[in-house]
Structure 1
Amino acid sequence: MEGTGAAASGAPGARADDGGGAERPVAKALKVVAAVDASEESLHARSWALDNIVRCHPDAALVVVHAQHAVDHFVYPVAAHGLAYAPPMAVESMRKQQEENSRQILARALDLCRERQVEATAAVVEGDAKEAICQAVERMQAGLLVLGSRGLGKIKRAFLGSVSDYLSHHACCPVLVVKPTKAQAK
C-alpha cells in the first residue's frame, strides 16, 4: 500500500488509510539532533532533552552529532605564502587522536541514551562547529536542534564566539539551548 510506505518513512505529506477508505494526514516523526562535545553543559543538555523531549515523543528519532575540526585547522600557514606543511606522521597522529576523542564523546552520549532506554544514532561532522552542525541539521532534515550553553559573558562571547548563538540564528530548524542550572554554573 503506497500511502502506508510513505507514512512509515515520515515523508512530508504522507497519508494513511483510516480504515474506511478515506485518507488522513500522518504526522511526521520528530527528528531531534543533539549536538555534543566533552563539556558538562553538553551532558546536561542531552539529559534534559532525553527527559523532556524524547520521553514525551516516543516516536522521535534522536541523532547525536559531534563536530570535530579538520586536521588542517591545526596546521599553521608557513610564512606569508599561505603554504602549510606538517610531517605526514604528525598529521596522521592528530587525525587518529581526533577520531578517538570523537569516539569517546559519542560513546558517552550513547551510553546516556541507553541508560534512559532511548535508541539513538551518532554522527561525526568535520569542520567549524557552527557551520558543520548547521549543515548537518539541514541535511538530516531535523525538526529540533538541542545543545548546551557554556554561559559565556558578553565579553568572552564577543571574542570567542558562541556556537549556540550562531546556531539559534542560522539553523534551519528550531533550536533549544539548554542553560546550566545555577548550581552547575558555579
Structure 2
Amino acid sequence: MSIGMETVMEEEEYNYREVRLPSLIAVVGEPELGRETGERRRGRDIIIAIDHGPNTKHAFDWALVHLCRLADTIHLVHAVSGSFLTLLTPPLFFCLLLWKFIYLFFNIFSDLHNQVVYDITQGLMEKLAIEAFQVLMVKTVARIVEGDPGKVICKEAERIKPAAVVMGTRGRSLIQSVLQGSVGEYCFHHCKAAPVVIVPGKEAGDASIL
C-alpha cells in the first residue's frame, strides 16, 4: 500500500498531503460575534509557514497575538524536500533490470520517509491547532507540500489568496540573506500575498517584524 503524497496538477505538478487535525468546534456566542462586523465577521485566511525549528513557534505566537482574530482560518504549511528519485537520471537499456530494483527500493524508502515526516509534522500541527483554538477559537487547516519552501509557500498563497503569509527566519542579517538566499527573501519577490517575516529577538519570546 503506497503512502506517497497526492499529486496536484497546476503550472507544474507538486505533491501534497492534507493533515488530519483534531475536530475542534468553537462555540462563539452572539455577543462576541456581534462585536465583529464586515470583513472581521467573515474572517480571513492566514498562512503560517512552519518547520521544526524554534523560530517557527515565535512566528506562530506572534501571529496569534498580533494578527489573527475571531472567525479567521489559519493555514499551516510545511514544505519537505523532494524525493531522492528526482536526483536519478534514466538508465541505459542494458541497466534496465538493475534500475527496476533500485527504483523499487527507493520507492519503498521514499514512502517510509514520507510517512515518518508526515507523522512527526502532524504531531506538531496538532499542537499548534489546539493552541490556536484555545487562545482565539480560530479554525486551523494544515498541509504538507513537497518542494522548495519558497516556491511551496508562494504556490499555497496563490491558491488560498490569504490576507497575509507569516513565516519565521533564522535571524541572519540582511546582507547574509541576500548573499545566501532565504525563503523570506524569495517570498518578498514572488509571493502574491503580503509576507510577514518574524525575526526573533535576543530575549526569549521577543520578536520583531522584518
> Which of 33, 36, 56 is the equivalent residue of 1:42?
56
The alpha carbon displacement at 1:102 in A equals 2.4
Work out whether residues 36 and 109 of structure 1, in 8 Å CA contact, stay in contact via their aligned partners in 2: no
Letter in 2 for 1:64: L
Q: Matched residues in 1 for 2:89 and 2:120: separation?
A: 27
**Aligned: 1:152 with 2:152:** no
**Aligned: 1:132 with 2:132:** no
Matching of residues 1-186 of structure 1 within 5 Å: 27=39, 29-55=43-69, 58-72=70-84, 76-77=87-88, 85=102, 87=105, 88-116=107-135, 117-153=137-173, 154-155=175-176, 158-159=179-180, 161-184=181-204
Structure 1 runs (4+) deviating above 6 angstroms are 78-81
Q: Number of residues paired by the alignment? A: 155
For 2:65, what is the secondary structure of its paired residue? helix
Q: Matched residues in 2 for 1:115 and 1:158: separation?
A: 40
Structure 1 segments unaligned to the other structure (5+ residues) = 1-25
Q: Which residue of 2 aligns with 1:13?
A: none
Work out whether residues 56 and 167 of structure 2, in 8 Å CA contact, stay in contact via their aligned partners in 1: yes
Higher relative contact order (CA 8 A, sep 6+): 2
Work out whether residues 66 and 125 of structure 1, in 8 Å CA contact, stay in contact via their aligned partners in 2: yes
Q: Give the direction of change, closer, same or farther, for the CA distance of 1:157–1:104 in structure 2 (3 Å limit).
A: farther
Q: Matched residues in 1 for 2:68 and 2:167: separation?
A: 14
1:50-99 Cα shifts (integer Å, max 9, x gaps):
011113xx2322211111223237x6436998x99552332222222222
**TM-score relative to the length of structure 2:** 0.63
Q: Give the direction of change, closer, same or farther, for the CA distance of 1:115–1:93 in structure 2 (3 Å limit).
A: same
Q: Matched residues in 1 for 2:129 and 2:178: separation?
A: 29
Structure 2 segments unaligned to the other structure (5+ residues) = 1-37, 93-98
Q: Matched residues in 1 for 2:178 and 2:127: separation?
A: 27
Q: Which moved more, 1:110-119 or 1:37-46?
A: 110-119
Q: Which moved more, 1:44-53 or 1:85-94?
A: 85-94
> Over the residues paired in the alignment, what is the CA RMSD in angstroms?
2.8
Work out whether residues 66 and 106 of structure 1, in 8 Å CA contact, stay in contact via their aligned partners in 2: no
